[in-house]
Amino acid sequence: MKLPVAAGLATAAVTITLYPLFEGGTWFWSCIGTILVVTVTGTVASRLGARPWVAPAVTPVAVLIYLTLVFTPDEAWLRIIPTKDSIVRLAELIGSGYDDIQRYAAPVPDNPGIMLLTTAGVALIALLVDVFAVRLRRAALAGLPMLGLFTVPAAVITDPIGWIAFVVAAFGYIGLLVADGRERLSRWGRAVVVRRSSGASRGAAPDTERLALSGKRIGVTAIALAVLVPALLPVLSPDPLFGFGVGNGLGGGGGNIGIPDAIAKLGGQLRQQRNATVLTYTSSDDVPRYLRIYSLDVFDGTKWTLAPLRGRPEDRVSEGPLPPVPGLRPGVAVKRAEMRVTMSEEIDRLHFLPLPYPARQVEADGDWRADRASLMVFSTEDEAAGLDYRVTTEEPEPTLTELRTAVTLPDTDRYLQLPEGLDPRVAALAHRVTADAASSYEAAVKLQEWFTRDGRFTYDVRASGSGAQALSRFLLRDRIGYCEQFAGAMAVMARLLNIPARVSIGYTGGTKIGNEWTVRTHDAHAWPELFFDGIGWLRFEPTPTGAAGQGTAQVPLYSLPVTPTDDPTANPSGGPSSSEDDDAGQSAGPARPNPRQLDRDLDGTAIAADPGTPLPVKIGIGAAAALALLLLPAAARVVVRRRRLRRVTRTAAGGHAAWAELRDMLTDLGMAGEPSETPRALGRRIGERYALGPQAAEALTRVVTSEERLRYAPTPSASGPVPADLHRIRRDLASKASRWRRLGAALAPMSVLLRVRAAGEGALDVFDRLEGLRLWRGRPGGTRAATTPERPGGTRAGADDPARELTLTGARR
Amino acid sequence: MAVTPDVTDASARLEDLIDTAHRIRASIESVIEGKSDVVRLTITVLLAEGHLLIEDVPGVGKTMLAKALARSIDCPVKRVQFTPDLLPSDITGVSAYNQQTREFEFKPGPVFANIVVGDEINRASPKTQSALLECMEEHQVTVDGVTYALEAPFMVIATQNPIEMEGTYPLPEAQRDRFTAKIAMGYPEPAAELEMLDVHGASQPLDKMEPVATTAEVAALIEAVRAVYVSQPVKRYAVDMVAATRHSPDLRLGASPRATLHLVRSARAHAALSGRDYVIPDDLQELAVPVLAHRLLPSLEAQGQRRRPEQLVGELVRRVPVPDAK
């Protein structure tokens, strides 16, 4: 009868892991209620001896009644019997809940719709677990639906689930396995059947305690390892520094390269607590530059992804300069700069080089190739971790005229593609924002201005999603997001305005520390690049910068609205646009000190240098910590001994302290006796076997007698032991023990270790409680066969009962 | 430490007790050589107001021990030789019609004594056995509706041959339970046997025995034993020990609550004989086998492995942890 309960408890334990998805706590009680309904229904079904299919058939009805009672009691008959109205209302709630889930990012408010969806989902999981574990007796398989439930928060949010929640969930599952194993074993019957086995009823059930205990130990050890090992080893960090990676199975000469959801990883990096160094670089002109890793040019309505890359052998960076910069006309002025980049060793599986755009020449060890279209540099074999490379960049420095006259070429179609079913309001918005723009460039500037200033956006890394729906929500409703949303939204709007656009993922220029620029995890960034013919791809920065935004982001100068005074030649295009420019210039022109720039400068100087801890020191600290941990029992022993010796003289019951110390001393030296050894017997044994000297023997007698009288006599003995007695005994005993024993007693005292183990076994009692749980009284063990009549007049008398004999010798059901 | 008069009194009585007990012991040992632990247990049972069952093959001195104890105390001693044709009234007594007084007169049976030696108790029919056992438990005899109280102290020392021997009716477990302890005499050591030849070869040693204690003294001793202190942990230990016999898979029948009572009572006597006014777990450990083993039924598996209850109890005692102070 324990198995359905264990199944319910396991589901409840896993349900706890949903906590990061919700704002409030009411959903939990609603879920617990539904688990209770499923469990009770299942238990009653088993209790009544129904066939296995009855419970799964009846449970949905019970759940429906429960949902009706909780969510639509007003429409129901007698508040619980579902009616047509109540069913319709439930359906409506489910619909609104579904909409809400689409609309909100986690954590979601627990409004009725979402709660109903959650409760129904948990009921389904509980039912599946019940079916697997109780009806089909496949408790291990019941882990699958639970795992499904467990992956929901893991899939929705990038933060790892709290380890306590994980431990609770794992314990729930192990509890289920233990309950199942126990019941399974108890059905085997006795291993060996002698003609008539012991008449006692408890003899009928096999002794599963030891088996269960080892099972529990394995389970607890597994959980402890699962929690501790990733925490201790930085390599196996549950949220690795870098999740960017390249798909497998690539040919040497090129082929398709996919990056699994680069954008999702970006948010993860930004939200991470730890701000690890990713790379450092120096540049010839000491100007920070954005370092691009990926260029995402395909928007499929759910996310931005990468078109297949081509890395031809002739495009190896070692072969010479990179392929020509797409779209750059020879006449345009460029600024040349050299950078030397050092990647951190800790980066995980990065097959792309972070490079400034457009890179012209890259000197790096390994088979690195450039993609002609995007100038991304990648390798199918080598990794960027620990790499040290040089890169030369030639940034276009177009004049305003060049920018304003730039047009879009027809062959850039792929950078204009948008999925079907994009919210038309987004297009309307894009056109409204850029209504006054005379050229593509001006439209782009307007867009950026709208994002950073007029649109009143809020920067918050907790937002999520970059799909079409998230886009609508971001642009039309919340206006809360971080670089991912800003970059994606601007790129989409630019495409809507017929400006080729793509989203780049990489890092901002970072912070200057000492002589070099340091780029850290929190500098991870996404930004849009827009294409202008004759100039090529230009970076824009719609994300708020500075303290209230992406801290190290920088707005490129060419993307700022220009004032008439700034560039007198830039005014020929006439009336409407120039007046617009005036407005813009008054509010955000570079004539005024740019607050973002100030922040930038501050950031550059305010951060103190953090050289990090060198590896040998780390190893040293680790070793010292390990040593300290190992010596902890010894230290604990010393503390305990001191405290006891003080107590021996100071308190009336000092005899107990002396005795406890004596016992521990013997345990440490490997001279402990059985638990059934009385003080007197112990004294006799030690005195005889180890041939103590007369003084020590006397001291031993004093300790033993004192303890005996304290425990069992009405009055304690007149004179108790003194600390010197214990010292004497210890000296004498230690001289009888081997050297290793003495060393062990000092460094790893068994008395402390045993106590730790006892504490651990105490923790295992959680399982025993779980196993001991019974819904009905009077069926000890639940294994007594039905053929055994309950006999009044003592259980022992039943030993000669022929009916019992039958049960015991016959095979059990 | 303040010593209260009560304690002095108690220890004084205790010293008396030890003195008297030693005298009885010495007296018995003058007859039974090399069996000091058996003698000690016999006295323990006497002081615990219990009854003793001595089981062994014929001729090892069972009856001798019983008689020696009886002789050492100056009190009425009766001996009943149990035979298959012995009737209950042969033990309890009969009401006979007195023709002179024209009334029924009760003729007390052999149980009306301080010490009753029941020889070869398992040779009598169960009906007769149970008549004796009833007296043991209730310390009274009811004949023809009239109840007669028995003497105090009242101790039955029964001897029996091992049940495998021919012509015996084994005592049912319910009746064995009435005996506080069962001991086996065992064969004497060669040296002791040699000495026995020298001492007893020519004369009957029992004839020379003189009582060394009076009934009143023994009653006082019993009173003193009752005052021996049993701490809560020791009581718990006794309960644990008895409970262990009930939960052991090797035993078909565990010990009864009466066994717990007997165990603690005899532990008191044992402590007193050791000169202590409080019981320690060692007392219980020492008494566990003689007090508990004869009440238990080993399981068939254990029987098949030829494990005797004495052995099983010994194993259980090693497994039950000794109680700490609270």
* Banded pLDDT at A158 (limits 50, 70, 90): low
* Banded pLDDT at A771 (limits 50, 70, 90): low
The rounded distance, in Å, linking the Cα atoms of B241 and B260 is 9
Which residue in chain B has the smallest CA separation from A708?
Answer: B280
The whole-number pLDDT of residue A591 equals 36
**Do the strands A277-283 and B251-253 form a parallel or antiparallel pair, or are they unpaired?**
unpaired
What percentage of chain A carries pLDDT values higher than 90? Answer: 3
Cα angle for residues A111, A114, A117 (degrees, 5° grid): 145
| CATH classification code of A402-502+525-606 | 3.10.620
Q: Distance of CA A65 to CAs A32, A62, A111, Å?
A: 15, 5, 20
Average the pLDDT over B62-81 and give the result. 84
Contact B280 A677 (CB under 8 A): no
Contact A198 B300 (CB under 8 A): yes
What is the model's pTM?
0.50
Q: Which H or E element spans position A731?
A: helix A723-736
Contact A198 B301 (CB under 8 A): yes
Which residue in chain B has the smallest CA separation from A796?
Answer: B253
Instruction: Quick: pLDDT tens for B115-150.
Output: 888 888 888 888 888 888 778 888 888 887 888 888
* Banded pLDDT at A250 (limits 50, 70, 90): very low
Give the largest CA-CA distance in chain A.
Answer: 116
Average the pLDDT over A763-790 and give the result. 51
Chain A CB contacts of B247 under 8 Å are: 202
Q: Distance of CA B270 to CAs A45, A436, B152, B213, Å?
A: 59, 112, 20, 19
| Sign for the pseudo-dihedral over CA of A557, A560, A561, A565 | negative
Task: Count the helices and strands in chain B (H runs, E runs).
Answer: 14, 13
Q: Write down the domain spans for chain B.
A: 5-224, 228-319
Q: Do domains B5-224 and B228-319 have the same CATH topology?
A: no
Contact B254 A796 (CB under 8 A): yes
* Banded pLDDT at B275 (limits 50, 70, 90): confident
Average the pLDDT over A588-616 and give the result. 43
ipTM of the complex: 0.82
Chain B CB contacts of A758 under 8 Å are: none
Six token digits for residue A647:
């107590």
Residues of A with CB under 8 A from a CB of B: 194-200, 202-203, 207, 656, 674-681, 708-716, 718, 796, 799
Chain A CB contacts of B240 under 8 Å are: none
Six token digits for residue B91:
């033990």
Q: Distance of CA A675 to CAs B241, B245, B290, B318, B325, Å?
A: 13, 17, 22, 8, 14
Q: Which residues contact A612 (CB under 8 A, 6 or more apart)?
A: A277
Instruction: Quick: pLDDT tens for B284-294.
Output: 999 999 999 98
The rounded distance, in Å, linking the Cα atoms of A561 and A586 is 10
The rounded distance, in Å, linking the Cα atoms of B294 and A267 is 78
The rounded distance, in Å, linking the Cα atoms of A57 and B138 is 65
Instruction: Quick: pLDDT tens for A309-368.
Output: 777 777 788 878 888 888 888 878 888 888 899 888 877 777 788 888 888 888 888 888
Task: Count the helices and strands in chain A (H runs, E runs).
Answer: 25, 16
The rounded distance, in Å, linking the Cα atoms of A173 and B234 is 43
The nearest CA of chain A is from the CA of B300 a distance in Å of: 7
Average the pLDDT over B156-176 and give the result. 78
* Banded pLDDT at A781 (limits 50, 70, 90): very low
Closest residue to A711, CB basis, from B231, B247, B252: B231
More confident residue, A268 or A494: A494
Q: Which of B177, B250, B280 to mutate to test the interface with A (most CBs of A within 10 A)?
A: B280
Q: Which residues contact A232 (CB under 8 A, 6 or more apart)?
A: none
The nearest CA of chain B is from the CA of A747 a distance in Å of: 28
Closest residue to A718, CB basis, from B1, B234, B317: B1
What percentage of chain B carries pLDDT values higher than 90? Answer: 15
Concatenating the DSSP letter of every residue in A248-302 gives S--BTTB-----TTHHHHHHHHHH-S---EEEEEEETT-----EEEEEE-EE-SS
Q: Which H or E element spans position A511?
A: strand A511-513
Contact B277 A713 (CB under 8 A): yes
Using N-to-C axis directions, what is the helix angle for A262-271 and A483-496, rounded to 10°?
A: 140
Give the domain B228-319 fold. Answer: Helicase, Ruva Protein; domain 3 (1.10.8)
Averaged confidence pLDDT in chain A: 75
Q: Is the pLDDT of residue A772 over 50?
A: yes
Give the domain B5-224 fold. Answer: Rossmann fold (3.40.50)
Instruction: Quick: pLDDT tens for A645-669.
Output: 888 876 666 788 888 888 888 888 8
Pair B231, B324: CB distance under 8 Å:
no
Query: Is the previous residue joined to A614 through a cis bond, with omega within 30 degrees of 0?
Result: no
Q: Which of A503, A553, A622, A520 is nearest to A262 (CA)?
A: A503
Cβ-in-10-Å burial (0-12, 13-18, 19+) of A327 comes to buried
Looking at A79-83, A200-204, A322-326, which range is the least confident one? A200-204
Q: Which of A743, A724, A753, A725 is nearest to A669 (CA)?
A: A743
Contact B233 A194 (CB under 8 A): no
- One-letter identity of residue A453: R
The rounded distance, in Å, linking the Cα atoms of A443 and A231 is 50
More confident residue, A465 or B264: B264
The rounded distance, in Å, linking the Cα atoms of B72 and B27 is 6
Average the pLDDT over B4-31 and give the result. 74
Which residue in chain A has the smallest CA separation from B1?
Answer: A718
The whole-number pLDDT of residue A185 equals 67
Closest residue to A198, CB basis, from B233, B249, B277: B249
Residues counted in chain B: 326
* Banded pLDDT at B267 (limits 50, 70, 90): very high
Contact B281 A715 (CB under 8 A): no
Contact B277 A677 (CB under 8 A): no
The rounded distance, in Å, linking the Cα atoms of A592 and A561 is 12
Chain B CB contacts of A711 under 8 Å are: 231, 233, 323-325
Interface size between A and B, measured as CB pairs under 8 A: 82
Q: Which of A681, A649, A650 is nearest to A663 (CA)?
A: A681
Residue A150 bridge partners (DSSP): none
Concatenating the DSSP letter of every residue in A135-148 gives IS--TTTTHHHHHH
The nearest CA of chain A is from the CA of B301 a distance in Å of: 7
Please give the backbone phi and psi of residue A360, each rounded to the nearest 5 degrees, phi first.
-105, -35
Chain B CB contacts of A200 under 8 Å are: 249, 252
Q: B285 at the A interface (CB within 8 A)? A: yes
Closest residue to B280, CB basis, from A194, A199, A678: A678
3-state secondary structure of B111: coil
Q: Which of A134, A169, A178, A114 is nearest to A38 (CA)?
A: A134
Contact A714 B1 (CB under 8 A): no
Sequence-ordered alpha helix ranges (H) in A651-722: 654-668, 679-689, 694-712
Pair A698, A630: CB distance under 8 Å:
no
| Sign for the pseudo-dihedral over CA of A723, A726, A730, A732 | positive
Six token digits for residue A771:
């196993």
Please give the backbone phi and psi of residue B58, each rounded to the nearest 5 degrees, phi first.
-65, 145
Chain A CB contacts of B299 under 8 Å are: 197-199, 203
The nearest CA of chain B is from the CA of A717 a distance in Å of: 9
Q: B234 at the A interface (CB within 8 A)? A: yes
Six token digits for residue A40:
């009770």
The rounded distance, in Å, linking the Cα atoms of B263 and B289 is 10
Pair A652, B325: CB distance under 8 Å:
no
CA B176 to the chain's CA centroid: 11
Q: B307 at the A interface (CB within 8 A)? A: no
The rounded distance, in Å, linking the Cα atoms of A505 and A507 is 7
More confident residue, A789 or B206: B206
The nearest CA of chain A is from the CA of B26 a distance in Å of: 27
The whole-number pLDDT of residue B234 equals 92
The whole-number pLDDT of residue A784 equals 39
The nearest CA of chain B is from the CA of A196 a distance in Å of: 7
Please name the residue that has the structure tokens 């001793």.
B221
Residue B143 bridge partners (DSSP): B146
More confident residue, A609 or A223: A223
The whole-number pLDDT of residue A273 equals 65
Q: Which of A257, A271, A309 is nearest to A484 (CA)?
A: A271
Q: Which of A313, A331, A293 is nearest to A505 (CA)?
A: A293
Please give the backbone phi and psi of residue B65, each rounded to the nearest 5 degrees, phi first.
-60, -50
Cβ-in-10-Å burial (0-12, 13-18, 19+) of A202 comes to middle
Instruction: Quick: pLDDT tens for A395-422.
Output: 888 888 888 777 766 566 778 888 887 8
The nearest CA of chain B is from the CA of A679 a distance in Å of: 9
Concatenating the DSSP letter of every residue in A581-648 gives HHHHHHHH-TTSPPHHHHHHHHHHHHSPP-----HHHHHHHHHHHHHHHHHHHHHHHHHHHHHHHHHH
**Delimiting residues of CATH 3.10.620 domain(s) in chain A:** 402-502+525-606
Order of strands, sheet of B52-55, starting from the edge strand that comes earlier in the sequence: B77-81, B115-119, B155-160, B52-55, B181-183
Contact B323 A711 (CB under 8 A): yes
Average the pLDDT over A168-188 and give the result. 78
* Banded pLDDT at B247 (limits 50, 70, 90): confident
Chain A CB contacts of B318 under 8 Å are: 674, 676
The rounded distance, in Å, linking the Cα atoms of B222 and B218 is 6
The whole-number pLDDT of residue A606 equals 35
